[in-house]
Amino acid sequence: MTPGSRYFADFHIHVGRSKDQPVKMAAARNLTVEAVLREARERKGLDIITLIDGVCTNVLSELTELVAQGRLRELAGGGYEFENGLTVFIGSEVEIGGPSGGAAHFGCWFPTLSSATDFHGWLTTVQTNPSLSSQRARTDAYTLQNETTGRGGLFIVHHAFTPHKGIYGNCVSRLTEMVDMTLVDALELGLSADSDMADCLSELKDITFISNSDAHSAAKIAREYNALFVHAPTFEEVGLALHRQRGRFVAANFGLHPALGKYHRSRCAKCGKFWEVQSVGCSCGSTRSVIGVYDRLLQIRDTDVPAHPKHRPPYHYQVPLEFVPGLGPKSLTRLLDEFGTEMVVLNQVQVDALAAVVGEQLAGLIHRSRSGDVQFLEGGGGVYGKIIL
């Protein structure tokens, strides 16, 4: 591809099992390394991914074997190209305890197997079981940042606003209370949040936002994703894009509307009703809930309306094909047979071309879904919202 081309990336994909051993306990058993690398490229149409459990013991070993077999090729600018053309970054999701309680997840990406292996060696000194994903490390976030960047890695704040393991949702009201802002390479918005919500926090004005799936199954890969303009799909180029240097940049974020996220609103743990905005309890009398991202943001924001910096790319609300009502497996297969990948269907194919394959009615629904033209019932308390077409 020519310099300045658009590449699609999902930088947060888990592995369920590797070498027949569990990696991410909550992920699907069939979400193997091979399954991720195939699904991400050949069905979803992604160009770049971060295998966020790549530093886990068995996954790291499996990746090393793929390189030895010639199926993964190290790129000159960092990262590895799989045999189907997918660029793979090796990542680690690490849990760190907050300064006043709670815990948050952070992503650490590495350009080479040698740097990832060296990081794994350090993890063995601070984690009980580095063969499993997202394990608590007996250290602080500042140390984790230095251990990452010192090995040429990139440090990402994961799903920043979620009530479970999000730095804003579970630990602090300001990033500066827990991390060194100068060593944050990007912030992942996470399900239930978007740029409008995050830009109500002025401390984030210089930080690049990314939107990733945090996929725990193959179907959820690219539920959220990014478009980047870089000269090549390499680790070095993506690093430049995250810092908006030398003409590289994140061009767009794609994802579900935040209200469809399962942690958008606070839901009563007793009766299941949504709490009234800015209330401290439910109408049923209970004071127990899983606090929603929207409700938490109202507590911590320092401006009532988003102040988008000039560098902030658009956030496109888009419903993945899997979520489109009436689009069953047979119709989806016909679309992929005709057009190749979901990225092509979602971003390139005209409505009349879709209609020629699946009919006008379904083509219209796909068009509305990919442009965010949907109504929905809000989600919260661990329950996804519902799409209404």
Residue 165 lies inside a defined structural domain of this protein? yes
For 195-254, the pLDDT digits (tens) are 999 999 999 999 999 999 999 999 999 999 999 999 999 999 999 999 999 999 999 999
- Find, among 72, 50, 362, 23, the residue nearest to 225 by Cα: 50
* 313 part of a folded domain: no
Whether 298 is in a domain gets the answer no
Write out the residue range of the structural domain in which residue 72 sits. 5-258
Question: 343 — phi, psi (to 5°)?
Answer: -60, -40
Give pLDDT, residue 204. 98
Q: How far apart are CA 292 and CA 295, in angstroms?
A: 5
Pair 364, 239 in one domain: no
CB 62 within 8 A of CB 18: yes
User: How many domains does the chain divide into?
Assistant: 2
The answer to whether residues 328 and 250 belong to one domain is no
How distant is the alpha carbon of residue 292 from its chain centre?
Answer: 18
Residues 236 and 363 occupy one common structural domain: no
Assigned domain for 78 exists: yes
Boundary residue ending a domain (240, 258, 276): 258
Q: At 313, phi and psi to the nearest 5?
A: -80, 165
Residue-by-residue DSSP string for 113-165 = HHHHHHHHHHHTTT-S-TTSTT-B-SS-HHHHHHHHHTTT-EEEE-STT-TTT
Same domain, 240 and 338: no
Q: What is the pLDDT of residues 146-171, one digit of tens each?
A: 999 999 999 999 999 999 899 999 99
* CATH code for position 363: 1.10.150
Q: How much is the pLDDT for 3?
A: 58
Query: Which position has the higher pLDDT, 362 or 372?
Result: 362
The SS3 assignment for 353 reads helix
Residue 311 domain flag: no
Q: What is the CATH number of the domain that holds 64?
A: 3.20.20.140
Do 253 and 355 fall into the same domain?
no
**pLDDT tens per residue across span 308-362:** 999 999 999 988 888 888 899 999 999 999 999 999 999 999 999 999 999 999 9
In a domain, 337, yes or no: yes
